[in-house]
Amino acid sequence: MDYLKIFSPATVANVSCGFDSLGFAVDAVGDEMTFTKTAEKGVKITNITGADLTYNVDENAASAVVKKILKEAHANFGIELTIHKGFSPGSGLGSSAASAAGAAFGVNQFLEKKYTALELTKFAMFGEEVACGSAIADNVAAAIFGGFVLVRSYNPLEIIKLPVPSALRVVAIHPQIEVKTKDAREVLPKEIALKDAVTQWANVGGLISGLYTDNYDLISNSLVDIIVEPYRKKLIPFFDAVKTSAINAGALGAGISGSGPTIFALCKGDEIAENVHQAIEESYKNTGIHFEMFISKVNSEGMKIIK
């Protein structure tokens, strides 16, 4: 094989109650990346479209991952990379994660799938470190494993793939404003009330139980974040209006995707998702802030090979 084209999904991390622990992959939105095997060793980015990202191979999340894997695998070949960003960096939908995870997955195809999904996640976390300064796992794990994932532990890294009820749909709105991850981190308290933590982990338990049992009511009841959302929502204009209109239109729940500014809603079925899409659009169209939206299934397979 000398050429490969893949789709690497956008991802929603945190998922209301699951701050720094839960994530899921999106089906309709993501990056397309191509990999061309070269006789010359090393990695080179030949084209980036859809976003203004660095071609410096040590600073770009995708090429940094490719370089690291080729080195660790003692590969006797190189890779030329093209990246088409299907969604904006800084959206809170795991842009750097899609690049980093896609890079790890893609290169692995040229190495006879030498590495497991867990190992690929570790490589992709290096890409997150390059792009964002910290090796977070939730987005890259969701992109690589597909579906819902739980980051059970970082040390050692343990990723649990959770089931995806088949009628689950995502509606997302990306207001075209910037929320810096650093600001989104700094706005959080270092300490929280024990009783609030109990409420939150009971909801994590409820959400995971709901995913295993296709219990949409339980999923809905559990999609609550009393720890992080109250602080971070202040960084996202009209968050409450979006959330309220989504839930009034039948969404199971809504919250901040990653560290924002994208707001996601989970819905049961296509019809409700359409209604929620329309309701959110209505609630945002007169705010004066530009926005993009999408509806998608939850991606249950992760990466896709296109060619």
- Where in the sequence numbering do the catalytic residues fall? 128, 181
Closest contact distance (angstroms) between CB of 183 and a copy of itself is: 16
Interface residue with a copy of itself, options 71, 152, 180, 290 (CB under 8 A): 152
Compare residues 158 and 270 and give the one whose CB is closer to a copy of itself: 158
Using CB under 8 A, which residues numbered 224 to 283 contact a copy of itself? 227
Closest contact distance (angstroms) between CB of 197 and a copy of itself is: 4
Sign of CA dihedral 19, 20, 26, 31: positive
Decide if residue 147 touches a copy of itself (CB under 8 A): no
Decide if residue 182 touches a copy of itself (CB under 8 A): no
Decide if residue 183 touches a copy of itself (CB under 8 A): no
Decide if residue 289 touches a copy of itself (CB under 8 A): no
Q: How many CB atoms lie within 10 A of CB 37?
A: 15
Which tokens sit at 34?
């191509």
The CA distance from 17 to 21, in Å, is 9
The CA distance from 65 to 50, in Å, is 20
Closest contact distance (angstroms) between CB of 139 and a copy of itself is: 15
Decide if residue 191 touches a copy of itself (CB under 8 A): yes
Decide if residue 189 touches a copy of itself (CB under 8 A): yes
Contact partners, residue 66, CB within 8 Å, separation at least 6: 35, 43, 57, 79, 81, 103, 106, 107
Interface residue with a copy of itself, options 74, 190, 286, 288 (CB under 8 A): 190
User: For 267-276, which contacts have Cβ atoms below 8 Å and span 24 or more sequence positions?
Assistant: 267/168, 267/169, 267/170, 267/171, 268/167, 268/168, 268/169, 268/216, 269/167, 269/169, 270/169, 270/295, 272/169, 273/169, 273/170, 273/171, 275/249, 275/250, 276/171, 276/246, 276/249, 276/250, 276/251
Interface residue with a copy of itself, options 56, 116, 209, 248 (CB under 8 A): 209
The CA–CA distances, whole Å, from 181 to 67, 91, 92, 125, 129 equal 26, 10, 9, 16, 13
Interface residue with a copy of itself, options 203, 275, 283, 300 (CB under 8 A): 203
Compare residues 204 and 256 and give the one whose CB is closer to a copy of itself: 204
- Residue 156: asked if its preceding bond is cis (omega within 30°), the reply is yes
Decide if residue 306 touches a copy of itself (CB under 8 A): no
Compare residues 226 and 293 and give the one whose CB is closer to a copy of itself: 226
Stretch of 26-34, 221-229, 263-271, 275-283 lying at the interface with a copy of itself (CB under 8 A)? 221-229
By CB under 8 A, name the binding residues for a copy of itself: 17-22, 150-153, 158, 160, 162, 188-194, 197-206, 208-209, 212, 218, 221-222, 227
